[in-house]
Amino acid sequence: MKRLPLLAVLGWTAFAAAQTSQFKSDWEKAQEERDWKEAEFKLPALPKADALIEFFVSSANSFKFFVDPLSLSAGADGVVRYTLVARSPSGAESVSYEGIRCASNSYKVYALGHAGAWSQARSDWKPIEPRSVQRWHNELGSRYFCPNRVSVRTAAEGLDALRLGGHPTLRDVAR
- Residue 119 has what pLDDT? 96
Residue 67, Cβ neighbours under 10 Å: how many?
A: 25
Q: What are phi and psi of 106, to 5 degrees?
A: -135, 165
For 109-127, how does the pLDDT look when each residue is reduced to its tens digit (9 = 90+)? 999 998 889 999 988 999 9
**pLDDT per residue as tens digits for the range 7-40:** 444 344 444 444 444 566 777 666 666 677 898 9
State the pLDDT at residue 19. Answer: 43
List CB contacts of 46: < 8 A, sequence separation 6 or more.
83, 95, 113, 116, 117, 118
Distance set, CA 7 to CA 4, 12, 21, 22 (Å): 8, 8, 21, 23
Q: Mean pLDDT throughout 36-52?
A: 92
Residues 62-104 pLDDT 10s: 899 999 999 999 999 999 999 999 999 999 999 999 999 999 9
> Which residues lie below 8 Å from residue 63, measured CB to CB, with a gap of 6+?
57, 86, 87, 88, 89
Report whether 80 contacts 98 (CB < 8 A): no
Predicted local distance difference test score (pLDDT) of residue 73: 97
Look at residue 125 in the predicted model and tell me its pLDDT. 95
The top-level CATH class assigned to 50-170 is: mainly beta
Residue 114, beta-bridge partner list: 117
Q: What is the pTM of this model?
A: 0.78
The string of pLDDT tens digits covering residues 135-171 is 899 999 999 999 888 999 999 999 999 999 999 887 6
DSSP assignment of 135-157: HHHHHIIIIII-GGG---SSHHH
CB atoms within 10 A of CB 172: 6
Q: Checking DSSP bridges between strand 106-114 and strand 93-101, what pairing results, if any?
A: antiparallel
